[in-house]
Amino acid sequence: MIYHGRARDLPEFDVCRTLATHAVAHAQRTAQMQVDAPGVRLAPAALCDLVDEAADALCEIALADTVMAQAAGAPRPLSGLSATGDFATFQEAAGQAGARSLSRQLTVFLADWTAGVAAMMARLDADAAALDRAFGMSGSAGVARISGARGEYHRGACVRRIAFDEGSVLAYKPRPVAREAVWADLGHWLDGHGAVSVLYAPFTLVCDGYGWCRWVEARAAADGEEVDAYFRRAGHLLFWLWLTNSRDAVASNLVARGGEPWLVDCEACFYPGDDAHAAPLATTGFLPAAGADGQRSRAGLPVSTAPCHTVRRFSVDTDGRVSLARCDVAEDSLSNLPHTGELAVPASGHGEGVAQGFLEAADDALRLREALSCAGAPFRTPFGEGRFVARATVLYGELLAGYLAAGCSPDWIANMIAGLPLSAPLSADVADAIVASECAELVRLSIPKFYHVETGGGPRIVEGGLALSPLLNGRDVALRRLSKLSEAALDPLVREIKTALAPAG
């Protein structure tokens, strides 16, 4: 969540695992009360996965207090609760300890996390028949394993990979997924209209406020031809990302399957903004900005095979003392680039292939311009809710780390966040309301996310009813770009591609 390291080596792990075990059991009971149908079977290994996930997160929350207690020669912050301690007593004490106490922070986060897990379990039960129909699963399928993306919890919820014992693997997304369905529908529409360009996105089952899709596994390229096909199709993807004013097509949201670039998270398509002063294609997150440090780019098409990033890493000495340090690590868990054998192929030097695919997709858009704009076509269908991120999530991570350090208070977050850059310009009244909401989320150790819908007057935040002025309706931006599309307008975009992906040296 905030720190990198092996949580089970930490002195507080046993205590945190006990709390997590109680939380998972409580989530199961809560889920069973929410549905009438018999519960989906969760294998012991799947329950252990959830316990370990929660224990890891709790250890990270307690880490700063643990290190400072050691430095001061004080007792460990959770030493009063043994591995077999009384969970109810802990909860009661936490409620009396004050909002800034470690026990209170653990309790608040765990309450959100438990509610998120209970909702997932209840939805597995309630949607069992729909999942069978949509994904061709066996009606008696049980859950074998569960893994969570711990990097971004929003009120305790996160995307999870759910493996069923009959072989199916799904992604559970605890947020509105209508825009992901819009993107998949655009790909199907293009295919049905004879387009050369191809968009790869998993089928999404849209439910009320959440959804399911098939998990996409990476696959190595069979040969050089598949590698070339990947980068040409990456050009297709880049064009439609740009035309639809889409964002966040970063490395962690892409999966390479042979010659196919799969966009597995596209909630930021038809985004509510227009970065007029930024490089047009780099705003998608897919193409690296020209001149950017290739070793640190998070772009979906990086020029480095294993981009580096700075992390907070903890380690435990043989005497049990915890050390913290910042260090650069290579992000070797990504699967956005094609592989030949064990080696990933960077995008550097493949600008011509990407540009070729980009122009092929542009030809499709020019040929289908009128059809794309008609009622019922992809550019005119209702888009449902999307999510707006006010600031880069890495900045939120820095704030959370500072808040968890001793001496910081909720007021510290409010003072610090006011000086951080916004991802897009907002009117003063909206900006103030968003800062207040950001502070409230961060205090509960949640990454702030803002749900919005497109209305006649522009984007509007769902919960607060605030217009995101002066942001634009993403669909209006896309329609304007489509209407102005011409061969001459493509020239600077092709130059941007070739410059960004020029061979190294």
Residues 296 and 331 reside in one and the same domain: yes
Residues 416 and 267 reside in one and the same domain: no
Confidence (pLDDT) at 83? 45
Contacts of 278 by beta carbon, 8 Å cutoff, 6+ apart: none
For the stretch 128-184, pLDDT in tens is: 999 999 999 876 789 999 998 655 899 999 999 999 999 999 999 999 999 999 999
Residues 365 and 456 reside in one and the same domain: no
Residues 248 and 364 reside in one and the same domain: yes
Kindly report whether the global pTM for this prediction surpasses the value 0.75.
Answer: yes
Confidence of residue 69 (pLDDT cuts 50, 70, 90): confident
Confidence (pLDDT) at 172? 97
Residues 370 and 322 reside in one and the same domain: yes
Is the pLDDT score of 450 beyond 70? Answer: yes
Last residue of a domain, one of 88, 110, 133: 133
Last residue of a domain, one of 118, 133, 148: 133
DSSP letter assigned to residue 377: S
**Separation of alpha carbons 119 and 113, rounded Å:** 10
Distances (CA, A) of 84 to 21, 56, 95, 110: 11, 18, 20, 18
**Separation of alpha carbons 258 and 255, rounded Å:** 10
For the stretch 19-49, pLDDT in tens is: 899 999 999 999 988 877 666 789 999 999 9
**Separation of alpha carbons 394 and 1, rounded Å:** 11
Is the residue at 143 inside a domain?
no
Residues 233 and 324 reside in one and the same domain: yes
Residues 248 and 377 reside in one and the same domain: yes
Residues 306 and 319 reside in one and the same domain: yes
Q: Which residue has the tokens 């005119």?
A: 380
Residues 65 and 119 reside in one and the same domain: yes
CB 312 within 8 A of CB 324: yes
Query: Could you tell me which of 54, 219, 215 has the C-alpha nearest to residue 148?
Result: 54
Residues 465 and 479 reside in one and the same domain: no
Residues 465 and 482 reside in one and the same domain: no
DSSP letter assigned to residue 50: H
Is the pLDDT score of 85 beyond 60? Answer: no
C-alpha dihedral sign at 372, 373, 377, 383: positive
Query: Could you tell me which of 139, 158, 140 has the C-alpha nearest to residue 149?
Result: 158
Is the residue at 345 inside a domain?
yes
Is the residue at 207 inside a domain?
no
For the stretch 210-228, pLDDT in tens is: 999 999 999 999 999 999 9
Is the pLDDT score of 324 beyond 60? Answer: yes
Could you give the number of structural domains in the chain?
A: 3
Is the residue at 158 inside a domain?
no
Is the pLDDT score of 285 beyond 90? Answer: yes
Q: What's CA 64's distance to the chain center, in Å?
A: 25
Last residue of a domain, one of 84, 116, 133: 133
Is the residue at 442 inside a domain?
yes
Confidence (pLDDT) at 72? 87
Is the residue at 298 inside a domain?
yes
Confidence of residue 484 (pLDDT cuts 50, 70, 90): very high
Residue bearing the bigger pLDDT, 235 or 427: 235
Give the mean pLDDT of 242-246.
95
Is the residue at 449 inside a domain?
yes
DSSP letter assigned to residue 265: -
Contacts of 36 by beta carbon, 8 Å cutoff, 6+ apart: none
Mean of per-residue pLDDT scores for the chain = 88
* Enclosing domain of residue 426: 388-473
Residue 184 phi/psi, 5-degree rounding, is -60, -40
Confidence of residue 84 (pLDDT cuts 50, 70, 90): very low
Which range in 96-105, 254-263, 426-435 is most confidently predicted, on average pLDDT? 254-263
Residues 343 and 253 reside in one and the same domain: yes
Is the residue at 497 inside a domain?
yes
Confidence (pLDDT) at 229? 98
Which long-range contacts (C-beta less than 8 Å, at least 24 apart) are formed by 460-465?
461/388, 462/385, 464/433, 464/437
Which long-range contacts (C-beta less than 8 Å, at least 24 apart) are formed by 479-483?
479/373, 479/379, 481/242, 481/243, 481/245, 482/243, 482/365, 482/369, 482/372, 482/373, 482/379, 483/369, 483/373
